[in-house]
Amino acid sequence: MSKISLNNLSHSYLDQQNNDQDWALRDIDLEWSNGGAYALLGPSGCGKTTLLNIISGLLRPTKGEVFFDEKKITHLSPVERNIAQIFQFPVIYDTMTVFDNLAFPLRNRGFSEDKIKARVKEIAEMLDLSQTLYNRASGLTADGKQKISLGRGLVRSDVNVIMFDEPLTVIDPHLKWILKSKLKELHQEINRTMIYVTHDQTEALTFADQVVVMHEGQLVQKGTPVELFEKPKHTFVGHFIGSPGMNILSCELINGKANFSGAAIEIENKPISHKTYSKTQIGIRPEFVSFSNTGIAVKVLKVNDAGRHKIIDIECDGGKLKMISSVATTIPSGTAYVKFNSKYTYVYGDDWIVGK
């Protein structure tokens, strides 16, 4: 078990780098403490797999170092790093029994059969595999097989970190939540550092205490699920997390005040900055926009009844935005006014949050 630190890590698949686009990863600084549940979240092409491969040792970074605790391991091979990895698709031996599959990583390391038996039974119990322990793996469903893969990753108690690479891809949607809760429970029980890589925000936020969001090779925010929802530090996080995502519209920043759609917008998180930006934007989630008697004048374009709430398209001088209201909300006719909840309104300068 170890703390994992990434120091000033950059990686490029090219021999020469001329601009930002040539880097698959740029200036990653990150620390994951021992025993935590972490997720690496981002769309395809964001660099998350590159980062995973650097941690597991399949890839040597162009710049920067990887540490397990205080030990520099950048140059170590995957085997020497002593990690467990679980992949998208089950990696198991079909001809072996479930028991032998789970015992395999332990037998390889020469544990005694007594110890192996005790440990395998313990893991099988956690994953509800005890009933089928002596069945052949080939007869199992895709979920059953993926559970064995998970079990093989979890069975060794001496690994530095357990990494999951999109582990629920093959799981039937109706069973996904059950495996999600299993993983969460397992983390609580065995208390080891776990890193979960995915493009699926629900999986990342459900599993992890801390989520790292990646975008175009950069780390754009590290935070709890609540922080990512309530205070996105980068416009990408606002857009990517949540459905529909954050409204992000051009605004003017004058003397620490945001002017949007012809009005000064009240913002608790004061956007005081002495920098100049090539673009400034205001960000507000649809959940925090509501109808009001005064405020920003808007025209209602469309009302979607999404069953549990209404998603309303509105337009003001500053542009088009979405708001979410309860089903009971009456939609004003003619010109309506909306207000933004000042606690959750932010200003972004060149896509990064401005102010404290």
Partner 1 sequence: MSLELKNVKKKIGTETHIYSTDLKFEKNTINILLGSTLSGKTTLMQIMAGLDKPTSGEIWFNEKNVTGVSVQKRNVSMVYQQFINYPNFTVFENIASPLKIVSISSNEIKNRVGKVAELLKLTDMFNKKPHELSGGQKQRTALARALVKDSGLILLDEPLANLDFKLREELREELPRLFENRDCIVVYATTEPMDALLIGGNTATLHEGKIIQYGKTVDVYNKPKNVISAKVFNDPPINTTKVIKKDKTFSIENNSISWQCQSNLGALADGHYTIGIRPHSITPYKQTENSVQIKGKVLIAELSGSESIIHFQSGNIKWVSLSTGIHPLKVGAEAELHMDVNQFLYFDKNNKLINHV
- The number of C-alpha atoms within 13 Å of 136 and in the hemisphere containing its C-beta is 4
The closest of 196, 78, 175 to 128, measured between CA atoms, is 175
- Residues 62/2, Cβ–Cβ less than 8 Å: no
CB of 290 to partner 1, least distance (A): 13
230 binds partner 1 (CB under 8 A): yes
Choose between 106 and 150: whose C-beta lies nearer to partner 1: 150
Total residues interacting with partner 1, rule: CB under 8 A: 37
CB 115 within 8 A of CB 65: no
CB 234 within 8 A of CB 321: no
Q: Count other C-beta atoms under 10 Å from residue 184's C-beta.
A: 14
Write the binding mask 283 to 322 for partner 1: x where contact by CB under 8 A, - elsewhere. --x-x----------------xxxxxx-x-----------
Binder among 143, 200, 266, 315 for partner 1 (CB under 8 A): 200
Residue 244 engages partner 1 in binding (rule: CB under 8 A): yes
Residue whose CB is less far from partner 1, 184 or 222: 184
Report whether 47 contacts 61 (CB < 8 A).
Answer: no
Among residue numbers 249 through 278, which ones bind partner 1 (CB under 8 A)? none
Candidates 225, 283, 295, 318; binder of partner 1 (CB under 8 A) is 225
CB of 151 to partner 1, least distance (A): 19
d(CA 267, CA 97): 61
Phi, psi of 182 (to 5 degrees): -60, -50
Q: Which listed residue (44, 108, 278, 335) binds partner 1 by CB under 8 A?
A: 44
Minimum distance, C-beta of residue 323 to partner 1, in the bound complex (Å): 13
**Residue 107: closest CA among 347, 96, 299, 131:** 96
Q: Which of 33, 43, 130, 292 binds partner 1 (CB under 8 A)?
A: 43
Among 242, 256, 332, 355, binds partner 1 (CB under 8 A): 242
With binding defined as CB under 8 A, does residue 330 bind partner 1? no
CB of 62 vs partner 1, minimal distance in Å: 26
Helical spans, DSSP H, in the chain: 48-56, 78-81, 98-108, 113-126, 142-154, 173-190, 201-207, 225-230, 235-240
Amino acid at 130: S
The residues that touch partner 1, with contacts defined as CB under 8 A, are 43-44, 177, 180-181, 184-185, 188, 199-202, 205-206, 224-226, 228-230, 239-245, 285, 287, 304-309, 311, 324
